[in-house]
Amino acid sequence: MQENKKKQILLVGNPNVGKSTVFNSLCNKKQKTGNYAGVTVASHSGNYVYKNEEIEVIDSGSYSVYPSSEDEAIFSKYLIDEQKNYAGVVYILEALSLKRGLLLFQQIQDLGIPMILVVNQIDQAERRGITIDIQKFSESLGIRIIQTNAKEQIGIDEIRNAVHNNEFVKTDKISFETPNEHRDFIHKLASHKGFDNEYKAWMSVSLGTDLGRLETVMEQIHDAEAKSLVPKRLQVQETVRRYQNVDKILNNVISKKPQFKELLTEKLDRVLVHKFWGM
């Protein structure tokens, strides 16, 4: 992950969403991908040329904002501290698990990182009669959405085009609201540490000692509240709040057509509970 002239993009998303499949499709590679979580253990780098522009692609593999392994911690640091090295993140959502995917998406969005959003495995949603109102979805997230079936190369050129045109979007509206009881402290911390947004301050506290940040933060602040903050508890609090927010968005966006089997059951039910025929 060295600084160079090529435009660099990072593929990020939850396990098994199709990052490596998108990576292979973009770079015309035939590397093996698996259908179980954690197949990509270390980050992979590849290249492609589109309209005379050379793009370097990094497949982030497994990643979390709150890292639980060395690999994740290295990538996390790169994502936050080395923004000048890359053009943006291509974030992959899986059509069938939007809720889980949006959690990580909004965390990265709240860090002020420019992103392009992809909903992959749209064929799986169609197969199950699940409709995603892409227009509404896109409006509520404030970002354009590219739909792909990476296995069949559908939508891959749209990603290439969006990357070429630098359609990465950075929002300044943070979706995570600091809980009331911590607001004063987080506010103080953000200005003390010179964070350009409060979520970064929240995250530095929630990270605990992993990146050696908490000690320095707390030593400098001498705040009674700081000593009572438990990082893991803050992470849980954040997750709960974010899921409430994500649920609200998805309720207006996802609908499910009943499948043939379900329609049949419904018809049978109607016959069975009929006031004359049913008992």
Q: What are the residues binding ligand GTP (CB under 6 A)?
A: 13, 15-21, 33-35, 37-40, 61-62, 120-121, 123-124, 148-151
Tell me the closest approach of the beta carbon of residue 45 to ligand GTP, in angstroms.
14
Beta bridge partners of 9: 57, 88
- CA dist., res. 249 & res. 140, Å (int): 7
Tell me the closest approach of the beta carbon of residue 27 to ligand GTP, in angstroms.
13
33 in Cβ contact with 21 (< 8 Å): yes
Type of residue numbered 244: Q
Nearer to ligand GTP, 37 or 211 (CB): 37
Nearer to Mg ion, 48 or 202 (CB): 48
Tell me the closest approach of the beta carbon of residue 265 to ligand GTP, in angstroms.
26
Tell me the closest approach of the beta carbon of residue 148 to ligand GTP, in angstroms.
6
38 binds, among ligand GTP, Mg ion, none (CB under 5 to 8 A by kind): ligand GTP
Q: Which residue has the tokens 């490596």?
A: 20
Residues within window 189-218 making contact with Mg ion, judged by CB under 5 A = none
Structure tokens at 127: 């197969």
Which sign does the torsion angle of CA 224, 227, 228, 233 carry? positive
Tell me the closest approach of the beta carbon of residue 153 to ligand GTP, in angstroms.
9
Residues within window 14-73 making contact with Mg ion, judged by CB under 5 A = 19-20, 40
Nearer to ligand GTP, 14 or 204 (CB): 14
Query: What stretch of H or E contains 118?
Result: strand 115-120
- CA dist., res. 125 & res. 107, Å (int): 25
89 in Cβ contact with 79 (< 8 Å): yes
Nearer to Mg ion, 150 or 203 (CB): 150
Nearer to Mg ion, 19 or 160 (CB): 19
Q: Enumerate residues 6+ apart whose C-beta is below 8 A from 37.
A: 15, 16, 62
Chain residues that interact with Mg ion, rule: CB under 5 A: 19-20, 40
